[in-house]
Amino acid sequence: MVNIPSILVIDSGVGGLSICQSIMSTSEANEQNLQIIYFADDAFSPYGLLEELELEKRLESIVSSMLVLHQPDLVILACNTVSTLLLPQLRAQFDVPFVGVVPAIKPAAKKTLTNRIGLLATPATVCRAYTDALISDYAAECEVIRVGSNELVTQAEALLAGEKISLNVIETVLEPFISEDIALEVDTIVLGCTHFPLLKQQLQEVLPNVSWVDSGEAIAKRVHDLLGQMSHGHTHSSDASLVHQIYFSESLPDQFTFKSALAELGIKDSKLHLLNIS
């Protein structure tokens, strides 16, 4: 028996897998094994359209159920909406560390050379008060061009399902960041939805001279710092520890295609489950 840390990652779809990719990459670099337990709540997607009370009850049910099933060492809320609205309540209710995700406005403001940055997120995220506060606190001297897109969420989901994605759709979404005047173009764009880093290769094809910033690396560092502060992880058998558990609440994707996509993200051995949580 070995002590392998386990991490529960929750999102309304597969977008949070970009966070898992960063975590697994950091784990590999640190020669550390860990187990990913991922819950894709596709029955209630997207979270940004739910009322706060409904969202709170839903997350309480998911966390309660997954704590019983897996006893993870920490929980990642891989959704900007959930993180900003519910993180304090969930931390107070459950005896397990929580890590939230917010758009990487602060590092983007530090990175830009032109003080013109873009925010690419879902429509709900770009217009929320917490986004205004992040910009006011960390990018007050920058011009921030905000673009909200649900189309890119669909494209990212299609990519992991092995379906063809449309570069034309991506080009259309990115048009507001492009200017005929080079001096007015953004040089840094924040990927403010966890789905969007999954499309980084395609985004770079359209805007190759832009620096793309997301929260994955910072979240991975925070996770490994927290795990390092713990005396030990939960005990798993050496075989089971290498199998990552992926849950869906409404429908399962094609097993072969999806597991192949997971392997490319660093989640090499996985088991898919359908779990209806009421």
Give me the active site residues, please: 79, 193
Q: Is the peptide bond before 88 cis (omega within 30 degrees of 0)?
A: no
Q: Reduced to 3 states, what is the DSSP secondary structure of residue 215?
A: coil
Q: List Cβ<8 Å contacts ≥24 apart for 125-130.
A: 125/48, 125/80, 125/81, 125/192, 125/193, 126/192, 128/81, 128/84, 130/84, 130/102
d(CA 120, CA 126) in angstroms, rounded, equals 8
Q: Which residues of 36-64 are buried (b: 16+ CB within 10 A; e: fewer)?
A: bbbbbbbebbbbbebeeeebbebbeebbe
